[in-house]
Chains A and B, each alone.
Chain A
Amino acid sequence: MAESLKAQLLAEHPGLEVQGPPPGLERVPLVANNRSPGWISDRIASVIEGETPRWWKICFGISVTFMTLCFAMILYLMSTGVGIWGVQHPVMWGWAIVNFVWWIGIGHAGTLISAILFLLRQRWRTSINRAAEAMTIFAVMCAGIFPLIHIGRIWYGWWLFPIPNSLGIWPQFRSPLMWDVFAVSTYFTVSVLFWYMGLIPDLAVMRDRAKTKIRKFGYGLFALGWTGSNRHWSNYEKAYLILAGLSTPLVLSVHSIVSLDFSVSQLPGWHTTIFPPYFVAGAVYSGFGMVLTLLIPLRRLLKLEEIITVRHVELMCKVTLATGSIVGYAYAMEFFIAWYSGNPYERFLFFHNRAADPFIFGPLMHSKPAPYWWAFWTMVTCNVVVPQFFWFKKVRTSMLFVFGLSILVNIGMWFERFVIVVTSLQREFLPSNWSYYSPTVIDVLQFLGTFGLFFTFFLLFLRFVPLIAIAEVKGVTPYADPHHPLGGAKIGEKH
């Protein structure tokens, strides 16, 4: 913007110019190349306004196919019964619960970015929060399918809701499974509210840019008549702050309650007080893995490298490292407590039924290899070793490397839930009940199907909704600072 105005204002108010930090200490700006607010609108809106890219059509076709598969598998399940899955005594919670916990965990990064980072005034969140929140919503949708279908008789799903059944019996709230119903449905609803409220100003952007009548009507309808009035912004910002303040305890409670599904039971491997914080850290860790998996290709494909900069990716890697390390600590603590408790069942489960591999630790402990030793060590490799790569700047700034590691994070967290669910159940107190759990093809197809559901929604989101919070990104550029002429001091300053 006008350099002349800056010069004029400086002439009027000498001493107004603020010195930036010394060279070498400046922070990388949040929007590269000092782009103007107008450019930001144009760039983000062009993702929607431009022609549908070829890769989008191909990906959409594949996703819809898998989504159909998802619904077909549900139909098959409804018509036949849970016998088509691999669940058998004593492993009555198989892939369905593993997938449920995994998907719901994925969602947690979106809420962390949108709520907790907002409260912590991490302004870099603006470039990624919209897409991450969309990811949350779609992931919770995928997650919600599994508890519903795993009950076997899906037509009795409404028994979960506080409605009396035909005998006048209400659900009983002393069970954590009931708490879970409330936690997950609240989580979904509040995520949608938060997401939609963030969208209102951006839908107004799309309405005001719209060239066709249909677009103008559609975006105009959902923008609710937003004008950008400062009297409105004042209420809006307060409501946003409150929603962030409510979502923070919400997101921490959701995975805590999911973990209570396990830890309220008396089973070694589940009955652990460390579960709530450990589950929350794991959820954020896996969620950031998914955000990285989604955004690294997208910033390239949609040419958004100037808004989702390498700095953003680096910061996400650091969160992944921090939460991954908490997860690693929790694993270690579980083992320590299992040993320190002196409880033979706990010790057996952790040392002989999880960690004992056929090569090193098993022989050292004079133990036969655990049936799922490979799942356990996949989990440890992906969740404890992999994030440690993010200590290195070379790794964090190499998009290909980060993308690869982010996929390993997702795999690792899936295996974590598998290890928790299956290994704790499959060798129970009576050795005569022991068995080996393996999934069927239907289990696998059902899980793959939910990916189709997720990506179908995500791709539609990319094409019809601004995938970056336009108004919020404008607000973190130097131009948005009214306290200095053109916000000159903010270029390259601390964020």
Chain B
Amino acid sequence: MPAKTYAVMAEFETAASVLHAAEKVKQAGFRDWDVFTPFPVHGMDRAMGLKNSQVGWFSFIGGCTGYTTGMLMIWFMNAVDYRIPIGGKPMFSPFAAFPPSYELTILFGSFGALLGMLFLNRLPRLHHPLLKNRRFALATHDRFYVVIETSDPKYSDYETRRLLENLGSRHIELVEE
């Protein structure tokens, strides 16, 4: 049985040409498509019509959790569970509790940012059809790829290929599932 086709992949050689191609693919109204670049290309998010990333919310929630955890933890330990009078200082003071809580804000916020990024990107992913493709290894080297998946409702073997050819891609191939 022949392997199922996952997508069509078009190679570009410059950031300018792939940005231009992305604008046109977006205009053509595709949905299941992506651009693969060795480094983030400035302006590509707008060209692809991507919304602002949601990572910030994960980090924000992480940070709030961290600060609350710190304050509650210190209050519970030093003012509730086992009170130790030291130098006449109050059992709980938000000022003394601030530095550790501040650090926990940053700690949890950072975990939120990293894990949020991984979650939104559905990573880690140990298998991907593109990673099996030999040519695609250049995507981390110096080539740029536009990939349109066959699952896209607008996809057609002939038309999509023509579109990518017209955008100036010199190398187009089908990627197996």
Place the interface of chain B in its size category: 35 or more
Given A230-B45, A482-B18, is A475 in contact with B40 using a C-beta cutoff of 8 Å? yes
A residues near B44, Cβ cutoff 8 Å: 230, 233, 482
B residues near A233, Cβ cutoff 8 Å: 37, 40-41, 44
Given A169-B84, A172-B84, is A208 in contact with B141 using a C-beta cutoff of 8 Å? yes
B111, A193: Cβ atoms under 8 Å?
A: yes
A residues near B106, Cβ cutoff 8 Å: 186, 190, 246-247, 249-250, 253
A179, B100: Cβ atoms under 8 Å?
A: yes
Q: Which of B39, B52, B77, B107 contacts A480 (CB 8 A)?
A: B39
A residues near B77, Cβ cutoff 8 Å: 162, 170-171, 173
Give the Cβ gap from B128 to chain A, nearest Cβ, in Å: 6
Given A186-B104, A186-B107, A225-B127, is A486 in contact with B117 using a C-beta cutoff of 8 Å? no
Please, how many angstroms separate the alpha-carbon atoms of A31 and B31 in the complex?
A: 37
A residues near B141, Cβ cutoff 8 Å: 37-38, 41, 205, 208-209
B102, A253: Cβ atoms under 8 Å?
A: yes
Total interface residues on A, CB under 8 Å, equals 74
B95-115 interface with A by 8 A CB criterion:
96-97, 99-100, 102-104, 106-107, 109-111, 113-114
A232, B121: Cβ atoms under 8 Å?
A: yes
Nearest opposing residue in chain B for A244, CB measure: B113
B120, A253: Cβ atoms under 8 Å?
A: no
A244-267 interface with B by 8 A CB criterion:
246-247, 249-250, 253, 257, 260
Give the Cβ gap from A256 to chain B, nearest Cβ, in Å: 9
B38, A37: Cβ atoms under 8 Å?
A: yes
Total A-B pairs in contact (CB under 8 Å)?
A: 230
A residues near B128, Cβ cutoff 8 Å: 225, 227
Please, how many angstroms separate the alpha-carbon atoms of A182 and B48 in the complex?
A: 42
Nearest opposing residue in chain A for B54, CB measure: A235
Please, how many angstroms separate the alpha-carbon atoms of A210 and B62 in the complex?
A: 36
Q: Does B28 contact A (CB under 8 A)?
A: no
Please, how many angstroms separate the alpha-carbon atoms of A168 and B77 in the complex?
A: 10
B38, A182: Cβ atoms under 8 Å?
A: no
A235, B121: Cβ atoms under 8 Å?
A: yes
A168, B82: Cβ atoms under 8 Å?
A: yes
Please, how many angstroms separate the alpha-carbon atoms of A135 and B96 in the complex?
A: 31
B residues near A257, Cβ cutoff 8 Å: 99, 103
12 residue pairs A–B, Cβ–Cβ below 8 Å: A38-B142, A41-B141, A164-B82, A174-B89, A174-B93, A182-B99, A208-B138, A227-B139, A230-B36, A230-B48, A243-B114, A253-B103
Known: A242-B59, A249-B106, A486-B16. 18 other contacts (CB 8 A): A37-B39, A162-B73, A174-B87, A174-B96, A186-B104, A193-B110, A205-B141, A224-B118, A225-B125, A227-B36, A230-B36, A238-B56, A239-B55, A257-B103, A474-B39, A481-B42, A482-B41, A482-B44
* Chain B residues within 8 Å of A, Cβ to Cβ: 13-16, 18-19, 22, 34-45, 48, 50, 52-56, 59, 63, 70, 73-74, 77-78, 81-82, 84, 86-87, 89, 93, 96-97, 99-100, 102-104, 106-107, 109-111, 113-114, 116-118, 120-121, 123-128, 130-131, 136-142
